[in-house]
Amino acid sequence: MFDSARPYSFHIELTDKCNSGCPMCGRTDAMNRCRANEAKVRKIELTLADFEAQFTPAFCRQVEEVQFGGGLGDALAASECLEICDYLTAQSVRLVVSTNGGLRSLDWWRRFGAVMGRNGSHLELHVDGLRDTNALYRVNTDFDKIMANAAAYLATGAVADWYYILFRHNEHQVEEARDLARDIGFRHFVLIDTIRFGASRRFDYVLPDGTPAALEPARLSAADYRARFRTASEAEEAAAAAPPALPAGSKAAQAAAGINGIRCKAQMLNRPYITADGNVSACCWIDHSEEERGLQAAAGRQFADYNIRSRPLEDILRDEPFAGLFQRGWQQGEGAICRRKCGEGVRNKRLRL
Ligand code: SF4
Ligand code: SF4
């Protein structure tokens, strides 16, 4: 699956801690006032020492990009987030940091901007609405604080994009938010259609003050806004969406062609996933799953053997099940998660405006 001859692009959950309680997030107990689900959240995090041990200067030369996001936490909630970003960008590793933007002081954001601006790293700020609507999804966040943090960061010259999930309750503010993003200095404004609504097309939850609430899908999709705004250059969009050219015969080219209908995104991007407890997985979908444990057992190993605190990251990536067991399983029609996530190509759709 992973290829040490190609540059790596890691996806890393720095922590499972977060200041917010987004109803649809895996960490959130939506019907319990959007509190953290204690059964899932362990308040764990990766440390600067973990990165110094595994992302040595020599290994960093093989790493093109590290994305901090996903999983059960917000990267900025990790105690040593700034120190880790400083360490990696000093090694010329490009970062993409995803956050709700609600944590930390203005001074912290200025220092963060200086670190990110060093090598073209960028921030993905997830703000789903304006002052009166953002906290309906980004529960417990303060819009004014987020905007002040963003302004302090952008004033350093560092790059940030504004990500906006479309809901019924915020769709009337898309144009205003896009204009605000431009005024403040965001590079792009990106609309997202979430795929997390089930058949009922409604998601019930309870706000922190005990008020029952419900999320509903927006009437227009992200693609509908292309026609409405006509601001994105079609050629630029097409170029951004086009997959990179892949060397013939490489593992990435094999992944792009697909095995038995599965096109593994982790393999195409050469992007392993590391969780806040140090576990190394193929991707955030399969991480900690029964399917993953089955493959580890087939490799004659245990879950703990895949932790960067147990053995070197480079050894783990070269080992089974990444070396061949995943691919063999797909050939034999196995891999329910892989088929669901990478078989049909059903993912959140995004549109840059
Ligand atoms: S900000 Fe991110 S990690 Fe935090 S609750 Fe929302 S989706 Fe989950
Ligand atoms: S779900 Fe399976 S096929 Fe998709 S990226 Fe993860 S490991 Fe690869």
How far away, in angstroms, is 24 Cα from ligand 1 center?
A: 9
Peptide bond connecting 321 to the previous residue in cis, omega within 30 degrees of 0: yes
User: Using a 6 Å cutoff on CB, does residue 225 contact ligand 2?
Assistant: no
User: Using a 6 Å cutoff on CB, does residue 337 contact ligand 2?
Assistant: yes
Angle, alpha carbons 113-115-121 (nearest 5°): 80
Q: Report how far residue 292's alpha carbon sits from residue 264's, in angstroms, rounded to the nearest whole number.
A: 15
User: Using a 6 Å cutoff on CB, does residue 18 contact ligand 1?
Assistant: yes
Burial class (CB in 10 A: 0-12, 13-18, 19+), 140: middle
The pLDDT mean for the chain works out to: 92
User: Using a 6 Å cutoff on CB, does residue 255 contact ligand 2?
Assistant: no
User: Using a 6 Å cutoff on CB, does residue 20 contact ligand 1?
Assistant: yes
The predicted structure's pLDDT at residue 345: 56
Q: Report how far residue 128's alpha carbon sits from residue 160's, in angstroms, rounded to the nearest whole number.
A: 15
How far away, in angstroms, is 262 Cα from ligand 1 center?
A: 29
Residue 344 predicted with pLDDT over 70: no
Residue 347 predicted with pLDDT over 60: no
| Closest to 277 measured CA to CA, from 302, 299, 317, 306 | 306
Domains contained in the chain, CATH given: 8-243 (3.20.20.70), 251-349 (no CATH)
Ligand 1 atom having least distance to the Cα of 72: 3
DSSP lists the bridge partners of residue 279 as: 307
Q: Whose CA is nearest to atom 1 of ligand 2?
A: 338
- Scanning the structure block, which residue is given the tokens 């029609």? 333
User: Using a 6 Å cutoff on CB, does residue 130 contact ligand 2?
Assistant: no
Q: Report how far residue 309's alpha carbon sits from residue 331's, in angstroms, rounded to the nearest whole number.
A: 32
The predicted structure's pLDDT at residue 228: 77
Q: Which residues contact 269 (CB under 8 A, 6 or more apart)?
A: 9, 252
Strands (E), the chain: 8-12, 28-29, 35-36, 63-68, 94-99, 122-126, 159-165, 189-193, 203-206, 212-215, 273-274, 280-281, 349-352
- The answer to whether the predicted template modeling score (pTM) of the entire model surpasses 0.85 is yes
- Collapse the DSSP code of 306 into the 3-class scheme (helix H, G, I; strand E, B; otherwise coil) and give the result: helix
Residue 108 predicted with pLDDT over 80: yes
User: Using a 6 Å cutoff on CB, does residue 286 contact ligand 2?
Assistant: yes
User: Using a 6 Å cutoff on CB, does residue 178 contact ligand 1?
Assistant: no
Pocket test for ligand 2, best of 1, 295, 338, 339 (most atoms within 8 A of CB): 338
The predicted structure's pLDDT at residue 248: 67
pLDDT tens digits for range 230-280: 655 555 555 555 556 666 667 677 777 788 889 999 999 999 999 999 999
Q: Whose CA is nearest to atom 2 of ligand 1?
A: 74
Report CA dihedral (123, 36, 50, 268) to the nearest 10 degrees.
-60
Q: Report how far residue 187's alpha carbon sits from residue 256's, in angstroms, rounded to the nearest whole number.
A: 29
Burial class (CB in 10 A: 0-12, 13-18, 19+), 1: buried
Ligand nearest to the CA of 286: 2
User: Using a 6 Å cutoff on CB, does residue 266 contact ligand 2?
Assistant: yes
Q: Whose CA is nearest to atom 3 of ligand 1?
A: 73
pLDDT tens digits for range 25-38: 999 999 999 999 99
Cα atoms in the 13 Å half-sphere on the side-chain side of 344:
7
Q: Which two tokens stand for residue 220?
A: 């227009």
The predicted structure's pLDDT at residue 70: 77
Ligand 1 atom having least distance to the Cα of 26: 8
How far away, in angstroms, is 194 Cα from ligand 2 center?
A: 19
- Contact (Cβ atoms closer than 8 angstroms) between residue 246 and residue 302: no
